Structure 1
Amino acid sequence: MQARRIKREDLPLVRDAGWADPSRSPFVDGDNAWVPVRQGEEFDADIPERSRYAGRGYYMAGDVAVVHGDRPSAVEVEEIIAFRRPRGIVWIEALEDVTRTPKTELLWGTAGEVRHKENGYLFIMDPQEVMFSMGNRNEKMRIARLIRSGSGHERVADMFAGIGYFTIPMAGAGAEVHAMEINPVAFRYLERNVAVNRLADRVTTGLGDSRTLLSGTYNRIVMGHFDAVTMLPEALAHAEAGSVLHIHSIGQVEGQIRSAAEGAGFSSTIRVHKVKKYRPHAWHVVQDVTLS
C-alpha cells in the first residue's frame, strides 16, 4: 500500500483530497496516520498490506480496545495489539447493579478517558468507569431518523441516558430531550457530551431514578434498559395517545407490554426490531410501541 504520512489529527482534512485513495482505509500508528494514495501520486512509504483480522471480537472506544465475554487469552490480546495497535486493552467482565457500572480489568497498555467519535458525534468517557455499547450504533441512528422524519417537534424522555448514547443523536435530530441517569459518573459524562456536541439548548438532564424524574407528557420515551418492561407503569403515566415507547429487552416481551398498556387505559401497536445477538438463542430486541 503506497501511502503518505500525516498527523493523525489532520485525517479529517484529507478525506476529500484529490491524491487520497477513498477506496482504502488509512492506517493509524500512534500520532501518525498513513493515507493510501491514488495510482501515480507521491507517497512516503510502501506499507505491506495487513492480513484480514480473524481473532477475538472487540470494539474500539476511542483508541482503547474493549473486549466483552470470557477473559481473553494472552494470544488473543497479542493478536489485537498486532492488528490494531491500541493505546490499551480493557476486558469488561460484567455490568454491575442498576447503575450498569462495568467490572473491568486492564489487560495491556493504558486506558482512562477517551474521545470516541460515532455517527458524527463526539463521546467523552472512560470505558473502565461507564457502560458504552458499540452494538447499539444502528439502533441509535434508527431512532434519530424516526425523529428527523417526523412531522413536528418532539418532546422525548431518555430514561436511562448513560453518557448520552441515545440522547445526543436524538437531540441532534431536533428533539427536545429530557435525559435521566442514576449513575453519577455516567451523568457527569452525559453533561460533558451534551456540551461538547453543542446541544445544551435541546437537552435537560436529571440525576437520579428516572421513575421519579419523569415530568409532564412525552411524545416518545426511550427505555434502553433490559428491565424496562418492569418500569412501564411509571412511563405510561407520562404518555398519551400517539406516544411511542422504545422498550429494550432480552427476548420479546410483547405480552407484558400489552398488559401494562391496557392497565393504563391504552391499546398498543407493537413492532419488534432485533438489535444484536446477546447470547446463544437470545436476542437484544427493541419493541416500538405506539399507544392509542
Structure 2
Amino acid sequence: MSTIVGFQWGKITPKNNEKTNRNNDITKFKFNSKKRKFHEEKSNDKVEKLESDINKRAKVPIIKGERLPVTRMIESLNHENVVNLLTELVKVHPEITKTINELQPKISIEESIKLISNKFQLIKNNLPYKEELNDYSYLRIKPYLNEFLNCLSDFILNYLPPIETNFINSLTFIDFSTNLIIELPDFKNKEFEYIKSKCFEQISNTWLIILNEMFNENNDNEENLYNFIKIVNDLDLKNKITSYNELCDNKFEHILEFINSKTKVNSINEFITIDYSNYLTANSST
C-alpha cells in the first residue's frame, strides 16, 4: 500500500530489512549452471516473478504538491500585495480589526506624511495636459481627490488627542495638511469650491482643538503656561496662521484670536510681576 509523505531533503531508500529479505529470496532460486537448460529457464521465470511480487509489496512514498505555509507566503509578498491581502481579510473577517489595531506598530510622522503626499501627487499626475482647471479636469481627478481627502481625514483624527499625546506631532501634521489643502488645484467648479471651503473650515477647527488641548494641559501653573507659549513661538504659529488666514477667506481668524488671547494674558502677568526684595531690604535698613 502506498503512503503520502511530505517533501524531505535527501534520497528516499527502501528499508534495510526489506532489501535483505529480497536478496535472500532471490538467492534461494539460483541453480547450479550444470543443471539442464529447461530447469534453468523455469527457475529464472520464478525469480523474475518473485522480484515483481516483492516490489509490489514495498511501500513506495508518494510526494504531492502543497501550498506555501502562510508565514512563508506573507514573507514573499510585496508591499502592495500585503495591503490588498489585509484589506480583503478585514472585509471578510471584520472582527479581527480590534486585534490588528492592538498589534500594529505606531506609524511615524514621516511615514504618515509620505503616504498622504503620494495620494496628493496622484491628483497632480492625473491632471489633463496643460492642467486646464475646467469641469472635465475636475471629473477626471475626482476619484483621486476623494481618496486623498478620505485618507487625510483618517490621519488627522489619528493625530488628535488623546490618540496622539505629542502636541508637536499633532501641530506638525495639521500644518502639513493645511499646506496641501491650499495647494490643491483651483478648479472652476461649484462642487469643488464648496468642498475646498469645507476643508478650510475643518482644518481650522482642528487647529483650534489641538491648541486648546495644549493650553489646558499646560494651564495648571505659570511654568507650564510658558511651555505653551514656547511651542507657539518655536513653531512660528502666529505667522503661519496669519498667512493661512489670508489664503483661506479668513477662516483662521478665530485661531489667531485664541493664540493672541492666551499669549497676551501671560505677557501681562509677566509685565506686572514685581520684585519686592530690594524694597524690603531698603526698609529694613532704615
The TM-score, its normalising length taken from structure 2, stands at 0.22
More strand by share: 1
- Bigger Rg, structure 1 or 2: 2
Higher RCO (CA-CA < 8 Å; seq separation 6+): 2
The TM-score, its normalising length taken from structure 1, stands at 0.22
More helix by share: 2
